Every structure is written in C-alpha cells, then in structure tokens.
Amino acid sequence: NAGVTQTPKFRVLKTGQSMTLLCAQDMNHEYMYWYRQDPGMGLRLIHYSVGEGTTAKGEVPDGYNVSRLKKQNFLLGLESAAPSQTSVYFCASRMDRVHGYTFGSGTRLTVV
Amino acid sequence: GENVEQHPSTLSVQEGDSAVIKCTYSDSASNYFPWYKQELGKRPQLIIDIRSNVGEKKDQRIAVTLNKTAKHFSLHITETQPEDSAVYFCAASKGNDMRFGAGTRLTVKP
C-alpha cells in the first residue's frame, strides 16, 4: 500500500520550459490536491479535484493546469516555467471533506 | 476565501515543558481543523484533528481545543521531547478545500 506517490522528486527547468508532475494514490480517495510550499508561507492551494474528470482552482492557480482523467491520478502541468514557480510541490488526497490529507513526499522544482 | 493565521512563527521550549500554538480562522462555516507536523525535508503528517461539533480532543501528549465563537483553535503539547522539534501547521476546511496557516517552527532543547 504505497499511499500517495509523486514523481519526479527533483527537477531543474529552464525558464519557458514545460513539465508535468504526476501524483498517484492507491487509497481510492475521491479528493486530490496540489499545493506549493514556500518558506514562511505555509502551503498554498494551486488546484484540486473532487472526483474523476473534475478540477477546480485554488488560491494560486495562475501558470498551472491540472487533469484528473483517472481517479487515482492527478497531474499538474507547468505551461511555461518561471523562476517564481521555484518551490516544493506537494500532492495530497483525502477520503472526504472531514478527513485529513495524506501527502506525497513532494517534488522540489527549481526554475533557472 | 478562508484565511488562517498562526502564532507564534517560532517557539523554543525546554524538554519537558509544554508548548502551545494558536490559530484563528475567518470563515465561520469551516467545520474541520487538522494539525500537521513536518520534519525537515519530509512530508506533512496529520497528528490530530477536530471537527466543529467537538470542543476538545486529546491523544496522549497532544490535545487540540476549538472555540467556534471566537474562531480560534489551539494545539497543546505536554512533556515535550526533542523529537517533537518540527514545523507544525494548522488548517481549516470548509467544503472541498483546506487552507493552512504559515507554520510554527518548534524547537525543543534537551
């Protein structure tokens, strides 16, 4: 039982490049989330999904896109990377609205 | 949207002392309040949570209290140990998403 798995764990991008971060969960959770974590700012919600085929914007969605084609997978795309997107990205999932998150191990992204 | 404020940003205590971290939230409709512990370089881990129909919850050395009227909730750690050193995040959830406080870095000195 792997829980929530994120790939890749580390990545360095040049400004303007694109990439996709993959999140996979094996707990049959309906709800999935993408957060970014920056020093002193806690965790900020980028996008989330309440079920297969659904997505919604969070606090800081600009410059990112997401897709939830399968219930177990939630993809985060960066269309044209910028240095301001240098951050640690965490994926999370949960069973329903009154349960806590299970987090993935994070992706450290550096945009140069 | 929901706004969560957390204090203090850093907290240093002696081993064996108690530690208290406080959070306030803005949306009275929030109904679920978890606390996460994040060790350096690791993922956040859920340590305790409370729902809006409960005023207090305890799990061994940690406890959480909720005051819905004042819209604040607190984490209490008793008999602190060096392994309690980490960053602690509070969060408030209403509906589909969850908003986090900025975190408290707790240091427990041996």
Which residues in A lie closer than 8 A to residue B9 (C-beta atoms)? 40
Which residues in B lie closer than 8 A to residue A106 (C-beta atoms)? 43
Choice among A37-46, A50-59, A79-88, B37-46 with the minimum mean pLDDT: A37-46
Give residue-wise pLDDT tens across range B13-72.
999 999 999 999 999 999 999 999 999 999 999 999 999 888 999 999 999 999 999 999
**Encoded tokens for B77:** 């750690």
Q: What local confidence, expressed as pLDDT, does residue A1 receive?
A: 64
Which residue type is seen at B18?
A: S
- Residue B51's φ and ψ, nearest 5 degrees, are -100, 160
**Encoded tokens for A79:** 């269309």
Q: What local confidence, expressed as pLDDT, does residue B28 receive?
A: 92
If we measure between CA atoms, which residue out of A31, A75, A38 comes closest to residue B93? A31
Average pLDDT taken over every residue of chain A:
95
Cross-chain Cβ contact B44/A103 below 8 Å: yes
What residues have CB less than 8 Å from A73, skipping those under 6 apart?
Answer: A22, A23, A24
Give me the mean pLDDT over the A32-52 stretch. 93
Rg (CA), chain B: 13
Q: How far is B109 from chain A (nearest CA, A)?
A: 22
